[in-house]
Amino acid sequence: MLAYKDRPVTARTREQGLRRREAMIGYLLASPWFIGVLVFYLLPVFASVIISFLHWDLLTPPVWKGVDNYSFMLTQDRIFWKSLGNTIYYTVFGVPIQLSFALSLALLLNQKVRGIAVFRTIFYLPSVTSGVAVAVLWTWLLHPDLGIVNEFLRAVGLPAPRWLYSVTWAKPALILMSLWSVGGTMIIFLAGLQGVPQHLYEAAKVDGAGRWRQFRSVTVPMLTPAIFFSLVTGVIGALQVFTEAYVMTGGGPAESTLFYVYYLYNNAFVYLKMGYASAMAWVLFWLILGLTALQFAYANRWVYYEGGLA
């Protein structure tokens, strides 16, 4: 009987060797990505867990503090709760308004008219603009004395708020500005609208349903997967709002736009409280994870697919 090394090379053996070589080459080519994820993502994530239990100002050796950062945050830090309240306000009011506006645009751009592709491009383009550029632009648009928004309101006889300079109007102003960037959500809704089976509308017409009833009984149920996706991503994004407040208001006036991530940033890079900032980051992580899990838990009650509920 031949020894293993003396056995003839079969087609199956050659194929297995080729697959192994292809796999090795594939892993080798993908290794820069794996190394980047490990070094710049996974290691910092795990390091932040440890740092959240330390007192560390980047200038002196870290000191172990146990759960002191979490305890102070939840029981003594008034600004923490203020920033969380501001963020929840922005999320609760901003996300539904953004989704409604995006859906309205998608319905408008779903019409069969000449040049509709041009209009779709025009409405989508603002969403790819740099966040800082948009913030600077809207700072001028919402200027209480020189801004075009107040000029329009005065022209039609309406009161002109002080917007970013008012405790009452600062957060609504940022929510208004967020409508500038709903192009991505609009595209998702537009794709969903074009995927609604036409025979459902025809059946609804046969049953005597008008436009509103068709929208309520056909369009909205068939759009619920897109709405659910946009709701989940919208809530995650809103809970991490930062650029607008950082560029436009600096957290003011009177901390009315001091959002959670902005306060986290201040603790990390202004006050040099890296341990406290890491603890805040993990609290935000669990908050986002909990809200996302809650949305998925209730999705089967209202998200509809052609085969039935999710």
Average pLDDT over residues 104-125: 92
Structural domain containing residue 41 = 9-51
Q: 78-91: per-residue pLDDT in tens?
A: 999 999 999 999 99
Do 150 and 14 sit in the same domain of this protein? no
* Residue 6, pLDDT above cutoff 60: no
Quick check: is 1 in a domain? Answer: no
Indicate if 22 and 109 belong to the same structural domain: no
Backbone angles phi, psi at 305, to 5 degrees: -115, 165
The total number of structural domains in the chain stands at 2
pLDDT at position 225 is: 95
CATH number where 152 lies: 1.10.3720.10
Mean pLDDT for 40-68 is 94
Q: Does residue 65 fall inside a structural domain? A: no
43 and 82 inside one domain: no
Q: How confident is the model at residue 1 (pLDDT cuts 50, 70, 90)?
A: very low
The answer to whether 109 touches 183, Cβ cutoff 8 Å, is no
Taking the mean position of all CA atoms in its chain, how far away is CA 8?
59
Instruction: Identify whether residues 84 and 44 lie together within a single domain.
Output: no
Regarding whether 178 and 143 lie in a shared domain, the answer is yes
pLDDT tier for residue 12 given thresholds of 50, 70 and 90:
confident
234 in Cβ contact with 95 (< 8 Å): yes
For the stretch 292-303, pLDDT in tens is 999 999 999 999
Angular region, 181: left φ>0, alpha ψ -120 to 50, beta rest:
alpha
Smallest CA-to-CA distance from 193 within 307, 299, 103, 101 is with 103
Number of Cβ atoms within 10 Å of the Cβ of 201: 15
Same domain, 37 and 134: no
What pLDDT is attached to residue 2? 47
The mean per-residue pLDDT over the stretch 169-188 comes to 95
CA dihedral 249, 250, 254, 260 (to 10 degrees): 110
Same domain, 110 and 21: no
Whether residues 181 and 255 share a domain: the answer is: yes
C-beta of residue 59 within 8 angstroms of C-beta of residue 286: no
Q: Please tell me whether residues 36 and 149 are part of one structural domain.
A: no
